[in-house]
Structure 1
Amino acid sequence: MDFLSLSTPLLVLLGALKACGVVLLLLLARAIYWMFNMLVVAPLFDPLKNVQGPKGSILENHFRQVMDPRVSPDTHESWTRTYGKTFRFQGFGRHDYRLLSLDFRVMSHVLNSPVYEKPWQTRSLLSRLLGKGVFAMEGDEHKQLRRLIMPSFSTHAVKALTPIFFQKAEELRDIWETLIMNPDSPRDLQRGKLPPLPPPLYIPEKPLAEHIIDASHWISRATFDVIGLAGFDYHFHSLQDETEDVYLAYRRMFDIADKAPGLKGLIQLYIPWLEKILPDEGERITQESLRTIHQAGVRLIQSKKTAILAEKASSQEIKEKDILSLLIKSNLSSDAPSRLSDAELLDQLSTFLFAGSDSTSLAIAWCLHLLSLHPYAQARLRDEIMSLSPCASRTSDGPSDLSLTDAIDALPYLDAVVRETLRLCPPVHGTIRVATRDDQIPVSSPILLRDGTLIREGETIPIRKGSYVHIPIEGLNFSPDIWGEDARLFNPDRWSSLPAAARTPAHPGIASMMTFSFGPHACPGWKFSLLEAKIFIATLLPHFVFEPAAEIRKTNSILTRPYVYDQFEFGSRMPIKIGRYTP
């Protein structure tokens, strides 16, 4: 073999290595440029650097102060007192200034303007869990989808579902009565025995309740059954037995999603193929759960679509009242180009289940917790409910579900208690938006900038494209400027004479309460959630008395969940003492 035949492959190899080296150098140079621009150049031109806010080191963040419900109320109060209602804080460092405001005018502009969207990272996480549902959509896609969905959540459509609310509330009531009569009943399928509990924050003078239940877990099972039937006419039977495959798939997936994503999860947002080659246990469970849900969902959608088309062909009245049937009906009546595919319908199914089960169950559980801490309010509400005698014992010869629903919905103190609970314990602690272009945000409260410039009421502050705006849902619900000096206290009577600032409608029917957000991305199912919570409380309270079993705190994952103080390692739970009510 001559030298020439040996040298040719060697030269090719050297050339390839040289080319790779050049590519690597270019990538390295680009990375250095990107980092230098992000850390040094871009912050020089960020208008938020001139807005007052807490100081921090170059890579320090303020996420815990802003997003942890254990400290965020004090943080908002302190920062507002120091910097005014509108300020900036550090995201991932001093280069990442973010805007936060307790000025309702600022938040109204951000939530109503098409300039601001959910960040792609948030939409990616939601899409991975729920598919391309209404919560993960933006722009024209979101508008089109919302138009299809809204008829399913009209007042008439929601009231048609109330027999299901009553059915599952009564089933839960009967199970609790069985547990009280026989605490060792095998029907008690809670997650093992509760560990020893620390003393409660409040101890009643004359204890009435003796048995302890995990209220949040039981109510979650009930609301899962509700959304299964009301949403898709699907029986999970989770109150009776937590073994149904689709139920378990959703539960496993949501439990994993509730955990912080960690460093690997954040990296996967930017390198999505990483999870394909290096899947962890959480990813394997999520994918397995999604396959189970997909298979069941496809069968369900095909079955309902076939039935609806057959009834339309025979000119019969379509009797289905569940949300999925109404959505399919609305979809089929739309222009062909704007119709959703079966895969897109399945994504909405998962979205409804997540939003319609856990968020409502948390609202009901927090309501029982607050009533356990306020025995006078509990007794007053019980008396109001029992003034409607059918509420204490609904029988076949009693009023219709619809008339009983109207009576419950009209109870003023029940309405006030549920709204006050949703104000103090919103299932979603906060959300986030990103500016898609440079913008000017109007303010209603003066802002003194770092350079001494005063931004007066009605004037604007600039924000650049790519800047993040945090929406403090709980913070606005706790604002004394909106709700009065007792804003952080449980006071249902405030709803009979709201301050002027709180009467400014953020969302039809709920005044300035931010719990359901407002604007184009407001929760479409707010009527569903309110009415379900009222019916559950009206069904349970005449039969039981509730007392605190431990000091309960909040923790923020995807939703704001309860845990026992000093027992965070046992996970989310809400132990409450329960006893039978005797007049």
Structure 2
Amino acid sequence: MFTAPTFLLLAVALILGRGLVWIVNLLVIAPLFDPLRKLPGPKGRFFSSHIKYVIDPDFSATQHEVWKGKYGKTFRYHGSGKFDYRLMTFDLRAVSHILVSPIYEKPRITRTFLSTMIGTGIFTTEGTEHAFQKKIIGPAFTLQSIKALAPVFLRVAEELRDKWDESMPNGQDTLDVYHWISRATFDAFGLACLTYNFRAIHGETEELYLAFRRMFDLADKKGILRILLPVLDKFWPDEIARSVLASRQVIFDTGRRLISDKKELLRAEKESPSTSGEKDLLTLLMKSNLGNDSAKRLSDSDLLDQISSFFFAGSDSTALALSWSLCFLALHPDIQTRLRTELTHPITLDSSSTTSFHFEDRAYDVLESFTLLDAVVRETLRLVPPVHGTLRVATQNDLIPVSEPVVLSDGTVVSPGEHIQIRKGSIIHIPFEGLNFAKDIWSEDPLEFRPDRWRSLPSSAQPPNFPGLANVMTFSFGPSSCPGYRFTITEMKAFLSILLPHFAFAIPEGQTIGKRNGLFTRPIVKGKSSMGVQLPLIVKRLDECDPL
């Protein structure tokens, strides 16, 4: 008869035995039968990893082209080690299949990690739930909705311009442009999403702003162990987990009040149709939600998760894209001067009307009429996509079609129109940055900031040859593409149209701006990375401006 200690020893032995079997299968047996093993790709020792060549911007910008030259457009690399085969493809036929097919989902670890920060919104769901949520949020991002928000972006940009004016009594200063732009885009998002003014431009004291800011700043600081085992945050929360939880509570409490207030406004609008309805994203979401079957409506908590998702994916990424655009213009003063000339020149919208971007009722149309502005924005988004790539996991075995030949390790050639095999659980890396830098798509100078390329794009960078939204892979493609791409582009144009005619931007002497990839691609000063994310630029009032 077994005693209690014996049972305990047997249980421990069973757990250790099953763990050993799992490890042996993961490291030795499963890789032997992985179809990706047959694909060409860089080699390495057992625990060698190629991840730094994939995510470190000091390597990735050129490494992708090196690998394509050696192995073709579809190959495998080692993730955590030689046993971890991951697929990378620049074959647009394969990319389209992966991003459109429901078989491929964002890794559960990624979704779980993000959901601890922003809840179960559009960026953390998959399948039918994701499709349902996208249907609900669709009306908030129509062209008509974005047109209505253009004046909001312009007003916030004017606030930032005036604040910079106040802070520069001598007409010039070196400012951390990213920090300032981040504050301004929070204000713009608050007004556009919630009709809520954070007033972050004037001071970083508002409680809801600080809650969002803390949570997003902490996202890049979570240790790998807590990303892999998010349950630790629940049972043994560290300081970061406690801070995230406290921030989410502030967001939830404030959001609940905002939703309650908007319900009252919607009731008033229903009772009095002449009442002018608000056009912020939360109101549009709530209207779209009410128009749905009552059994399929999003709860108030779900609506708030959508707004948190917009702030997380939109405000921070737009601030980064806008900051990078100012950085590129500082590096290319000739393009900066040309753009300033365009923005200060009267724009003729039709044969009978001449106006400027200050007329709010036509703000969007005027912004769209600036051709160089459009090119600068798109070239920035091409060169520095806020998210440098995305991972997908195969939820079942599949055959991925290719349009370019793939030579397997045994010499077999997978010809165009044929398929490569992938098994359930395999990880696929879609390199947004790499596709935006591909020489066969963008010609021989893809790493150069050259907005004039947008005047006459090669056919390889246009639909249907190139599937990316706005002719870049920055916003992805297919069901998981970014619904707010027009929002981002319009906000960037609005800010540049206000700031460029009033200020000149230059790089401080001896300073080199680099990139740091985390959840987003952020600017750092090379040699001063320990000082964290920053983008110091010389900002000089134009009316006192000497050539920089």
TM range (shorter): over 0.9
The residue aligned with 1:569 is 530
Give the counterpart letter for 1:377 in structure 2: I
2:347 and 2:391 map into 1 onto residues whose CA distance is: 45
The residue aligned with 2:226 is 265
Matching of residue 80 in structure 1 with residue 41 in structure 2:
no
1:343 pairs with 287, 298, 301, which one? Answer: 301
**Are 1:134 and 1:348, in contact at CA under 8 Å, matched by a contact in 2?**
yes
2:360 pairs with 401, 405, 408, which one? Answer: 401
1:397 and 1:480 map into 2 onto residues whose CA distance is: 38
The residue aligned with 2:196 is 234
1:422 pairs with 356, 371, 381, which one? Answer: 381
**Are 1:162 and 1:402, in contact at CA under 8 Å, matched by a contact in 2?**
no
Classify the secondary structure of the residue corresponding to 1:135.
coil
The residue aligned with 2:326 is 368
Deviation of 1:317 (Å) = 4.6
Give the counterpart letter for 2:463 in structure 1: T
The residue aligned with 1:276 is 234
2:177 and 2:272 map into 1 onto residues whose CA distance is: 47
**What is the aligned length?**
536
Deviation of 1:400 (Å) = 2.6
Classify the secondary structure of the residue corresponding to 1:71.
helix
Deviation of 1:179 (Å) = 2.2
**Are 2:468 and 2:474, in contact at CA under 8 Å, matched by a contact in 1?**
no
Deviation of 1:357 (Å) = 0.9
The residue aligned with 2:252 is 294
Cα-to-partner distance string for 1:287-333 (whole Å, 9 max, x where unaligned): 11111111111111111123213322444555110000000011011
1:386 pairs with 329, 339, 344, which one? Answer: 344
Classify the secondary structure of the residue corresponding to 1:437.
coil
1:389–1:156: structure 2 CA closer, same or farther, 3 Å change rule? closer
1:266 and 1:325 map into 2 onto residues whose CA distance is: 34
Q: What is the 5 A alignment of 1:536-547?
A: 536-547=495-506
Deviation of 1:281 (Å) = 1.2
**Are 1:312 and 1:318, in contact at CA under 8 Å, matched by a contact in 2?**
no
The residue aligned with 1:413 is 372
Give the counterpart letter for 2:180 in structure 1: W
The residue aligned with 1:100 is 88
2:5 pairs with 17, 27, 34, which one? Answer: 17
* Residue ranges of structure 1 left out of the alignment (5+ in a row): 1-10, 184-209, 391-395
Classify the secondary structure of the residue corresponding to 1:515.
helix
Cα-to-partner distance string for 1:71-123 (whole Å, 9 max, x where unaligned): 11121121111111111011111221000112222111110111100010010
1:45 and 1:276 map into 2 onto residues whose CA distance is: 37
Deviation of 1:279 (Å) = 1.8
**Are 2:346 and 2:356, in contact at CA under 8 Å, matched by a contact in 1?**
no
**Are 1:308 and 1:318, in contact at CA under 8 Å, matched by a contact in 2?**
no
The residue aligned with 1:502 is 461
1:494 and 1:397 map into 2 onto residues whose CA distance is: 26
Tell which deviates more after alignment, 418-427 or 500-509.
500-509
* Residue ranges of structure 2 left out of the alignment (5+ in a row): 349-354
Q: What is the 5 A alignment of 1:138-537?
A: 138-182=126-170, 210-259=172-221, 261-269=222-230, 272=231, 274-317=232-275, 319-388=277-346, 400-505=359-464, 506=466, 510-511=470-471, 513-537=472-496
Deviation of 1:463 (Å) = 0.5
The residue aligned with 2:14 is 26
2:276 and 2:17 map into 1 onto residues whose CA distance is: 64
Q: What is the 5 A alignment of 1:18-57?
A: 18-57=6-45
Cα-to-partner distance string for 1:322-356 (whole Å, 9 max, x where unaligned): 00000001101100111001110110110111122
The residue aligned with 1:187 is none
**Are 2:375 and 2:454, in contact at CA under 8 Å, matched by a contact in 1?**
yes
**Are 2:347 and 2:356, in contact at CA under 8 Å, matched by a contact in 1?**
no
The residue aligned with 2:352 is none
Deviation of 1:564 (Å) = 0.2
2:309 and 2:414 map into 1 onto residues whose CA distance is: 41
Larger radius of gyration: 1
Give the counterpart letter for 1:256 in structure 2: L
**Are 2:151 and 2:363, in contact at CA under 8 Å, matched by a contact in 1?**
no
Q: What is the 5 A alignment of 1:550-569?
A: 550-569=511-530
Give the counterpart letter for 1:72 in structure 2: S
Cα-to-partner distance string for 1:184-218 (whole Å, 9 max, x where unaligned): xxxxxxxxxxxxxxxxxxxxxxxxxx521111110
1:84 and 1:478 map into 2 onto residues whose CA distance is: 16
1:427 and 1:294 map into 2 onto residues whose CA distance is: 27
The residue aligned with 1:199 is none
1:508 and 1:304 map into 2 onto residues whose CA distance is: 36
1:116–1:398: structure 2 CA closer, same or farther, 3 Å change rule? closer
1:430 and 1:341 map into 2 onto residues whose CA distance is: 31
1:420–1:267: structure 2 CA closer, same or farther, 3 Å change rule? closer
1:515 and 1:174 map into 2 onto residues whose CA distance is: 31
1:523–1:245: structure 2 CA closer, same or farther, 3 Å change rule? same
Cα-to-partner distance string for 1:212-232 (whole Å, 9 max, x where unaligned): 111111011000000001001
2:358 and 2:59 map into 1 onto residues whose CA distance is: 47
The residue aligned with 2:351 is none
Superposed CA RMSD in Å reads 1.9
1:236 and 1:182 map into 2 onto residues whose CA distance is: 28
1:283 and 1:364 map into 2 onto residues whose CA distance is: 30
Cα-to-partner distance string for 1:374-407 (whole Å, 9 max, x where unaligned): 11111111111111279xxxxx998631323311
1:340–1:404: structure 2 CA closer, same or farther, 3 Å change rule? closer
**Are 1:409 and 1:415, in contact at CA under 8 Å, matched by a contact in 2?**
yes
1:343 and 1:316 map into 2 onto residues whose CA distance is: 30
Classify the secondary structure of the residue corresponding to 1:310.
helix
Classify the secondary structure of the residue corresponding to 1:562.
strand
What TM-score do the two structures reach when normalised by structure 2? 0.94
**Are 1:552 and 1:574, in contact at CA under 8 Å, matched by a contact in 2?**
yes
1:398 and 1:264 map into 2 onto residues whose CA distance is: 50
Classify the secondary structure of the residue corresponding to 1:38.
helix
What TM-score do the two structures reach when normalised by structure 1? 0.89
1:508–1:557: structure 2 CA closer, same or farther, 3 Å change rule? closer
Cα-to-partner distance string for 1:476-531 (whole Å, 9 max, x where unaligned): 000001111111111111111111110125568612x1001010011000001101
Deviation of 1:266 (Å) = 3.7
